[in-house]
A and B are shown apart, each in its own frame.
Chain A
């Protein structure tokens, strides 16, 4: 397993009249960890959905290692090497934790026994090993977030898309997830793009940050640069002011 390069070019999407994403371009080099941030409703999840094939973009293109993948069905995007988590978690509720991840592993290993072994190893790495026989619906939200990551990883992706997997985690749990992702990236060279509001995690993981607001890219740079960027500060301070009001 190694990482793939992701290129997003002039991506656009409208929902009825609403311009959810407009002319967004950026790239994530193979093996890098990048973050996508922005206020709620900025269009981050919509960008993920277009990469993952949930719906085709109205404009622009997505390329994985130079190969166009926009417009492909989600299962074919997965086959191309993209693993994604859902912000609103989508566990297979009536199946056990182990079987949830096994479904992902079956994608590369048709044999059920082999797929189960792979799934078990991934669960252990994500500290879900002792919950493997519980039904997924019995998990707490932080564990469901971890299950999302485990199931996506089981498909052996070259690009991992993480949509707010730290939300709802306690600070110590955030740190453990950060360590896990950093180790995974170092060990396998997997490319990671993460949407995250937990700045502690963004600062610790991302080499590069893309900021979107109202569907448009407003800035990108290193975490340190972004922290000083006026347009970003305006958006976030405006947000905070709005929250306070």
Chain B
């Protein structure tokens, strides 16, 4: 079967047309978006990308990770550290960052899956590793310790090789990552491995009885997920130019990663994207609203309430509902 057929097989002409329009819009966006709108678009793509990465574990393979900040943090720190200390650019640093994050993922996965920790127990393990790492980074001087690691900001310079430049550069970098992750996930889902993940998510014992090597499939899921999340971390480090253990490995960072796919629709390809749009849009809207009201914490309350309403209103996520409205439902599988 050709790659093209794998990619678009089963999609209606209407769905393909909508997808092409969306892609064209995203590619052209920096030409007509102002600086503020562009920064919002960047945030959306970032959450769509990490959401896609996390969704591989939870949405596809059914393994709840609440410690994905571990991989993003490791990725960011490794690439930023290599650049800061040795001038090694992020295109090379990313390989090292990914390797380290995959190793970390494999350790977490080995402990969790070998000893059959399921559900919340596995989630606790992922939190524990993220927390240990945060404490270790607090004391690791190479990475700047608790005082943080800062990358030099040179105004007006665009240096693609070292990922130094303005918002447009970072916009296209995260767009490529997000589109790449989407394509990868689609290909994975339409493969034996992807189907095995879904089977494990539904019932691991039944899956193993029909020949699914459950442990191996879960390990591959966590490795791919950690690798993609590490890339998000690298991008993040170079975009914001600073890293602190308290934020890079924070519980809140891990939770943030899970929200877009949960709101958009677990296990769906468009869920993380739709979720990222909804969440980021809401966040900006509430920031705007509450700024005028000058009541601290109001934004968080609005945001939390809105999440609650969405989860109650669409427990399966916004995307399945939206897809029906747009007439682009996927066929039953």
Chain A interface (Cβ within 8 Å of chain B)?
A: 52, 54, 73-75, 78-79, 83-84, 86, 90-96, 98-99, 102-104, 106-107, 110-113, 115, 133-135, 151-152, 154-155
Contact = CB atoms under 8 A, between A and B. Distances in A.
Contacts of B208: 73-75, 78
A78 B210 contact: yes
A92 B203 contact: yes
B198 interface: yes
Given A96-B332, A98-B333, A110-B192, A155 B210 contact: yes
B205 interface: yes
Contact of A112 (B191, B201, B205, B209): B191
A92 B62 CA distance: 12
A48 to B, nearest CB: 10
B213 A99 contact: no
18 contacts: A52-B209, A54-B205, A74-B205, A74-B208, A75-B214, A78-B210, A86-B209, A90-B206, A91-B202, A92-B202, A95-B333, A106-B196, A107-B212, A111-B1, A112-B191, A115-B192, A133-B332, A155-B210
Interface of B is mostly: helix
A106 B332 contact: no
Contact of B332 (A90, A135, A151): A135
B64 interface: no
Nearest to B201: A94
A126 to B, nearest CB: 16
Interface residues of B, number: 24
B78 interface: no
Given A78-B209, A106-B195, A112 B190 contact: yes
B207 interface: yes
Interface string B201-233: 111011111111110000000000000000000
Contacts, number: 85
Contacts of A84: 209
Interface in B290-333: 331-333
A90 B205 contact: yes
A151 B333 CA distance: 15
Interface of B: 1, 190-192, 195-196, 198-199, 201-203, 205-214, 331-333
B211 A92 contact: no
The 6 A-B residue pairs with the shortest CB-CB distance in the complex, in nearest-first order? A107-B211, A92-B202, A90-B206, A78-B211, A133-B332, A104-B210
Given A73-B208, A78-B209, A113-B1, A92 B192 contact: no
A92 B332 contact: no
Given A94-B198, A106-B192, 14 more contacts: A79-B211, A90-B205, A90-B206, A92-B198, A94-B202, A98-B333, A103-B210, A104-B211, A107-B211, A112-B195, A113-B1, A133-B331, A134-B332, A155-B210
B1 A107 contact: no
A98 B333 CA distance: 7
Contacts of A107: 210-212
Contacts of A95: 198-199, 202, 333
